[in-house]
Amino acid sequence: MALIDDFKDRFPQFSSELVDQYFPPLVNVWPYYFGCSYEGSQEIVLQLLAHLFSGAIPVASGGTGGGVSGPVQSKSVGSVSVSYAAPTQSGGATWDFFRGTPYGQLYWSMLQGRRGAFFV
């Protein structure tokens, strides 16, 4: 089975049309986050892809709009509004990136048991 088919089977909550549109570029990206092959690591790779995919879906389609984030702190004054993600626990920038979605959190926790992964 192809990676995109595995993704669609594992995450039916993402519409097939959105997956067909936004998933293909991610196929070349995930190896930079996870330094092992897909074979034997399917679940961890699919969780990583779901995290990356969640950030790739535009807001109009129900996504976060080009990035994932953690807890958001917001301030508005008149017509000016600013928001930012504030880290709530230590864990470094990598953890801050992955804690923004449930898929990223699961990916991160699965990585903790595997010492063969690396981040670029």
Using CA atoms of 22, 49, 41, 110 in order, give the dihedral in degrees to the nearest 10.
Answer: -170
Asked if residue 78 is part of any domain, the answer here is: no
Number of neighbouring beta carbons within 10 Å of residue 41: 16
Q: Among 5, 9, 21, which Cα is nearest to 61's?
A: 21
Sequence-ordered list of residues with C-beta below 8 angstroms from that of 117, at least 6 positions apart, any chain: 34, 35, 36, 111
Asked if residue 77 is part of any domain, the answer here is: no
Write the Ramachandran bin of 114: left for phi over 0, alpha for psi from -120 to 50, otherwise beta: beta
| Half-sphere exposure at residue 51, Cβ-oriented, CA atoms within 13 angstroms | 27
pLDDT tens, position by position, 24-80: 888 888 888 887 778 878 898 899 999 988 887 764 455 555 444 445 566 677 777
pLDDT at 60: 45
- What is the total count of domains within the chain? 1
Asked if residue 106 is part of any domain, the answer here is: yes
| Positive/negative CA dihedral, 14, 11, 4, 33 | positive
Asked if residue 71 is part of any domain, the answer here is: no
- Residue 32 belongs to what domain range? 1-12+21-65+88-120
The pTM of this model reads: 0.68
3-state secondary structure of 120: coil
pLDDT tens, position by position, 61-76: 555 554 444 455 666 7
